[in-house]
């Protein structure tokens, strides 16, 4: 989808101006912006401007989706829309820093909400994956065991490298880093045992394996953001920075797409989604040749009957596009935090785009929240057996 490409390129451009933009962005087209010189609007402030431009751009799309007559704005007018985005970016360089400092504060709170939604979507995905593979149509039990072996194996390898890279050879000088890794091992082991215990009938091994690997990834990401000497990976070469730019852009883009398509977050019935998708497939097929038995009046009557469902389908698409653009606007604000160490610093110092204690603690707290939410999905059905939590781990199969 073109919007995902825009998001990807927006993250790449943000990191380019973050590291190398002070010399050429400020003097765009040989015009020296008096309100924004290289000492004021480079580094993090440049990221804020591009993020804000993308946020406004997607928010305008969402506003257009509020009215049925503007539904074509989602798919058409691309030359105008690209020029609009370019104009927003250039125009924001004509504005001094204070408004964007306020934007950074707002983006910090919105991004926390975005992270929480990502965690919910991950747990939802893990349960749906397990339910699909243990269903009567598939019954892929051996495949589940193989995937779990790979996921847990990757988690163990990652834990070993985390001890090697971030604990200074276990010399005792990096106790905080040792605690993070050890506590992650303890928490993931606990939830794994809970998920396969006799009393947790709805639990399953595959969701635990997915959550375990994600938690070790968060632990690694947190330790990479650690500015202390225990972090042996904080000094990056230009090649490593470029790879990090690509990974960051891909991660944010995928997270935005995944969240915008979540049925659980937006309260969309999955059967309704399948119904509309199947209708689209049927509409794309060439119409069968008429046998000539139906009269012209009957054909007109059938066409009139089709107008209602077609209008309903268009309305469903419009609402879905509205939600998509709202998610992309929130993701654009998350970009500002991800690429600036959550607004904890100013300027262009540092070789890593998320090297700060603030970024480190936000990621480690996200890890603990992931464990907490997943634990709740395990214990809540046991504590409240009369309630339907929509959790089907397939533990009875």
Q: Work out the percent of the chain whose per-residue pLDDT is above 70.
A: 71
Question: Has residue 368 got a pLDDT over 90?
Answer: yes
Give percent helix, percent strand, percent coil of the chain, each to the nearest 5: 70, 0, 30
**CA 225, CA 232: separation in Å to the nearest integer?**
11
In this predicted structure, what is the pLDDT of residue 252? 76
In this predicted structure, what is the pLDDT of residue 19? 74
Reported as a pLDDT band with limits 50, 70 and 90, residue 114 is confident
Highest-scoring range by mean pLDDT, 131-135, 239-243, 256-260, 313-317 = 131-135
**CA 44, CA 49: separation in Å to the nearest integer?**
9
**CA 100, CA 67: separation in Å to the nearest integer?**
30
Work out the average pLDDT over 10-15: 86
Reported as a pLDDT band with limits 50, 70 and 90, residue 224 is confident
Q: Terminal CA-to-CA distance of the chain, rounded, Å?
A: 38
Q: Work out the percent of the chain whose per-residue pLDDT is above 90.
A: 25
Nearest to 379 by CA among 252, 123, 201: 201
3-state secondary structure of 240: helix
In this predicted structure, what is the pLDDT of residue 31? 53
**CA 319, CA 323: separation in Å to the nearest integer?**
6
DSSP string, 78-142: HHHHHHHHHHHHHHHTTS-SHHHHHHHHHHHHHHHHHHHHHHHHHHHHHHHHHHHHTSTTT--HH
Q: What's the DSSP call for residue 198? A: T
Work out the average pLDDT over 42-49: 85
Question: Has residue 152 got a pLDDT over 90?
Answer: yes
């Amino acid at each position: 989808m073109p919007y995902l490409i825009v998001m990807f390129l927006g993250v790449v451009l943000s990191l380019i101006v973050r590291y190398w933009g002070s010399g050429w962005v400020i003097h765009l087209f040989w015009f020296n912006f008096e309100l924004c010189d290289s000492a004021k609007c480079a580094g993090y402030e440049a990221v804020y401007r591009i993020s804000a431009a993308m946020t406004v751009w997607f928010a305008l799309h969402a506003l257009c989706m509020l009215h049925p007559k503007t539904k074509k704005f989602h798919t058409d007018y691309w030359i105008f829309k690209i020029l609009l985005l370019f104009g927003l970016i250039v125009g924001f360089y004509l504005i001094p820093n204070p408004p964007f400092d306020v934007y950074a504060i707002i983006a910090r709170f919105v991004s926390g909400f975005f992270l929480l939604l990502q965690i919910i979507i991950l747990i939802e995905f893990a349960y749906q994956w397990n339910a699909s593979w243990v269903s009567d149509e598939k019954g892929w039990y051996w495949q589940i065991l193989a995937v779990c072996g790979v996921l847990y194996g990757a988690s163990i390898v990652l834990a070993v490298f985390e001890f090697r890279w971030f604990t200074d050879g276990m010399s005792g000088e990096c106790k905080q880093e040792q605690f993070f890794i050890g506590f992650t091992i303890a928490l993931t082991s606990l939830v794994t045992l809970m998920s396969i215990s006799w009393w947790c009938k709805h639990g399953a091994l595959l969701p635990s394996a997915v959550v375990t690997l994600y938690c070790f990834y968060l632990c690694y990401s947190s330790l990479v953001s650690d500015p202390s000497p225990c972090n042996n990976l904080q000094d990056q070469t230009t090649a490593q920075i470029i790879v990090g730019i690509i990974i960051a852009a891909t991660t944010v883009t995928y997270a935005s797409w995944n969240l915008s398509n979540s049925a659980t977050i937006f309260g969309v019935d999955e059967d309704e989604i399948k119904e509309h998708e199947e209708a689209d497939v049927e509409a794309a097929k060439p119409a069968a040749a008429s046998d000539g038995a139906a009269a012209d009046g009957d054909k007109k009557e059938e066409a009139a009957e089709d107008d209602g469902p077609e209008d309903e389908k268009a309305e469903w698409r419009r609402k879905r596009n509205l939600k998509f653009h709202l998610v992309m606007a929130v993701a654009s604000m998350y970009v500002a935090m991800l690429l600036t160490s959550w607004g904890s610093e100013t300027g262009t110092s540092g070789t890593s785009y998320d090297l700060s204690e603030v970024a480190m603690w936000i990621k480690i707290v996200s890890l603990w929240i992931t464990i907490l939410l997943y634990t709740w999905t395990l214990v809540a059905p046991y504590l409240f057996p009369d309630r339907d939590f929509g959790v089907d781990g397939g533990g009875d199969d």
